[in-house]
């Protein structure tokens, strides 16, 4: 069995799901950018699929929980995804 290293770089033409954060105006870490994990601001999922981009709220402030949704993103896409 071959284990591949985790791919962190999005590949065009492939489905990708990434977690990012939208900092609140009051967040002192907002200058840290969208990949900052250590604040409690709302997390979102950036989903690239079939040439289309979706941005879905993870409905959590936890990066870990958002990442879990990204790993099994059918839950994040949810009803009405078509």
Between CA 82 and CA 70 the distance in angstroms is 18
Question: Judged by CB under 5 A, which of 37, 39, 54, 61 binds Zn ion?
Answer: 39
Q: Which of 16, 20, 29, 65 binds Zn ion (CB under 5 A)?
A: 29
Question: Binders of Zn ion: how many residues, by CB under 5 A?
Answer: 5
Q: Which of 68, 53, 42, 43 is nearest to 16 (CA)?
A: 53
Closest to 9 in 3D by CA, of 72, 45, 18: 18
| Sole window of 2-10, 23-31, 49-57, 70-78 interacting with Zn ion (rule: CB under 5 A) | 23-31
Give the integer Cα–Cα distance in Å for 2 and 18.
Answer: 24
- Minimum separation from the CB atom of position 37 to Zn ion (A): 10
Residue numbers at the binding site for Zn ion (CB under 5 A): 23, 27, 29, 39, 41
């Amino acid at each position: 069995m071959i284990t591949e290293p985790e791919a962190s770089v999005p590949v065009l033409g492939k489905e990708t799901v990434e977690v990012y954060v939208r900092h609140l105006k009051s967040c002192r870490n907002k200058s840290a950018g969208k990949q900052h994990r250590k604040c409690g601001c709302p997390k979102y999922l950036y989903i690239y699929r079939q040439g289309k981009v979706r941005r879905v709220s993870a409905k959590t402030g936890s990066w870990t929980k958002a990442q879990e949704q990204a790993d099994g993103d059918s839950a994040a896409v949810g009803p009405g995804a078509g």
